[in-house]
Chains A and B, each alone.
Chain A
Amino acid sequence: MITKIVSKNFEILNSHTMAVALENGRYASLENLFLQKPREIIDTISQSGLRGKGGGGAHAGSKWQLAADTQGTKYLVVNADESEPGTFKDRQILSKDPHLLIEGIICTCYAIGSHISYIYVRGEYEEFSDILQSAIDEAYEKNIIGSGAQYPLDITVHRGGGAYICGEKSALLESLEGNRGHPRLKPHTPQAESYFGEPALVNNVETIASVPFIVENGAEAYRAYGTEKSPGTLLFALSGHVEKPGVYEAEFGLGMWEYIHTLGGGVKNGKMLKAVIPGGASTPILPAHLVQEAKLDYESLKSLGTELGTGGMILLDEDASMVKALKNLLRFYHHESCGQCTPCREGTSWVDKTLDKFIAKTATTEDLKILKSVSKSMNGKTICVFAPAASGVINGFLKHFENEFLECIQ
Chain B
Amino acid sequence: MRITIDDISIECEEGELLIDVMLNNNINIPHFCYHQDLGADGNCRMCMVEIKGAKRPQIACDTFVKENLEVITKSENINEVKRSILELELLNHPVDCPICDQAGECKLQDYYMDYGLYESHLTTPKTKKGKAIELGSNVMLDQERCVLCTRCTRFTSEITKTGELGIIGRGDSARVGVAPGHELNNPYAMNVVELCPVGALTSKDFRFKQRVWFLDTSKSICHGCSRGCNISIDYNETKYTREKIHRFRARRNARINQSFLCDYGRLSYKELNNSFKGTSSSIEDLKELLKEDKKLALASPSLSLEQLQAIQTLCQTHNIKLFCLAYYDESFGDGWLKTNDKSANLASVKKLGICTCQEEFDAALQEAELILNFDHTLLKHQEFGNKKSVQFTSTHLPPACGYCFGFANFAHDTGTLINCEGITQKFYATRFRDKNPSLSELLEQLR
Contacts and interface: CB of A to CB of B under 8 A. Distances in A.
Contacts of B295: none
B171 A350 contact: no
A336 B170 CA distance: 7
Nearest to A369: B121
B45 A354 contact: no
A381 B81 contact: yes
A340 B172 contact: no
A70 interface: no
A367 B171 CA distance: 21
A188 interface: yes
Contacts of A381: 45, 48, 56-57, 81, 85
Nearest to B89: A342
B40 A185 contact: yes
Contact of A376 (B40, B46, B48, B84): B84
Given A185-B62, A345-B172, A350 B48 contact: no
B87 A366 contact: no
Interface stretch (B122-130, B258-266, B363-371, B419-427): B122-130
A42 B81 CA distance: 43
A370 B45 contact: no
A73 interface: no
The DSSP consensus for interface residues of chain B is loop
A354 B43 contact: no
B44 interface: yes
B233 to A, nearest CB: 34
A339 B143 CA distance: 14
A339 B174 contact: yes
Q: How large is the interface on B (under 10, 10 to 19, 20 to 34, 35 or more residues)?
A: 35 or more
Interface in A359-384: 364, 366-367, 369-370, 373-374, 376-377, 380-383
Quick one: which of A165, A185, A348, A350 has the most chain B CB within 10 A?
A350
Most A Cβ at <10 Å: residue of B64, B89, B124: B124
A350 B43 contact: no
A350 B125 contact: no
A370 B121 contact: yes
B53 to A, nearest CB: 14
A146 to B, nearest CB: 36
Interface string A300-342: 0000000000000000000000000000000000111111111
Interface in B36-76: 40, 42-46, 48, 56-57, 62, 64
A176 interface: no
A349 B45 contact: no
B196 interface: no
B45 A341 contact: yes
B148 interface: yes
Contacts of A342: 43-46, 85, 88-89, 147-148
Contact of A377 (B46, B84, B122, B166): B84
A335 B62 CA distance: 28
B124 A350 contact: yes
A335 B174 CA distance: 11
Contacts of B123: 354, 357, 364, 366-367, 370
A188 B121 CA distance: 36
Given A346-B91, A381-B48, A381-B85, 7 more contacts: A341-B45, A342-B46, A353-B124, A354-B124, A377-B88, A380-B57, A382-B45
Interface of A: 163, 165, 180, 185, 188, 334-343, 345-350, 353-354, 356-357, 364, 366-367, 369-370, 373-374, 376-377, 380-383
Interface of B: 40, 42-46, 48, 56-57, 62, 64, 81, 84-85, 87-89, 91-92, 121-125, 127, 147-148, 166-167, 169-174
22 contacts: A185-B62, A334-B171, A337-B172, A338-B170, A339-B169, A339-B172, A339-B174, A340-B43, A341-B44, A342-B45, A342-B88, A343-B45, A346-B92, A349-B171, A349-B172, A354-B123, A373-B84, A373-B121, A376-B84, A377-B88, A380-B57, A382-B45
